[in-house]
Amino acid sequence: MKLIYSIFVFLFLGLQSYAFEYATFAGGCFWCMEPPFDKIEGVLETTSGYMGGHQKNPTYKDVSNGSSGHAEVVRVKYDPTKVSYEKLLDIFWHNIDPTTKDKQFVDIGSQYRTAIFYYSDEQKKVAIKSRDDLEKKNVFGAKIITEIVAATDFFEAEEYHQDFYKKSPVRYKFYRFNSGRDQYIQRIWGDKK
């Protein structure tokens, strides 16, 4: 009986460790995109990285100078039994300006474009509905041009970029405030964040 119980526990815990999904979003500077997701119950981890370009194993220099074609992204590993993909999309929309092409606040270039990289037909469908609902409500006062595209290879950013807001809180807060992101979020969403 003890052996059967041990096998059951092993299998149950083993299955639990695989009960996660990914969502990947490009919202300009990846430093600013990690914190809103990190504080959500059900988010297991966030990882800054690069996606959507043509170069294999790009470095930050390759991405930041625009030569790789990649966007700065945050990949969110989450437990779908605790947080929905719809909720993650809501967080994404509340932290970007989806009406500007190849630009987010002070950062300019295609590497700072906004995009939703979907991993399944269901994610694609939910993302399109989410975008269309916001368009109908005219939340942003202009056309939403955020790309909704299939996920491609994800390349993890260098270690010094991971959790930058925790490692260098003063530099992070200085950058974020001066970028204009928070002022924009307050103007569009007010206290509805």
What does the pLDDT average to over 54-59?
96
The pLDDT score that the predictor gives to residue 136 is 97
pTM here? 0.88
The pLDDT score that the predictor gives to residue 19 is 84
Report d(CA 93, CA 68) in Å as an integer: 25
What does the pLDDT average to over 147-167?
96
> What does the domain layout of the chain look like in residue ranges?
18-189
Active site residue 32: no
| In the predicted structure, residue 21 carries a pLDDT above the cut 60 | yes
pLDDT tens per residue, range 97-129 = 999 999 999 999 999 999 999 999 999 999 999
CB atoms within 10 A of CB 51: 24
The one catalytic residue among 24, 25, 26, 29: 29
Using CA atoms, how far residue 169 sits from 5, 164, 181, 189, 193, in Å, is: 47, 7, 16, 24, 22
Is residue 72 within 8 Å of residue 26, measured between CB atoms? yes
Average pLDDT of the chain?
A: 92
Domain 18-189 has CATH 3.30.1060.10: yes
| In the predicted structure, residue 182 carries a pLDDT above the cut 90 | yes
Give the range among 5-19, 72-86, 131-145 with minimum mean pLDDT: 5-19
Report d(CA 108, CA 90) in Å as an integer: 24
| In the predicted structure, residue 6 carries a pLDDT above the cut 50 | no
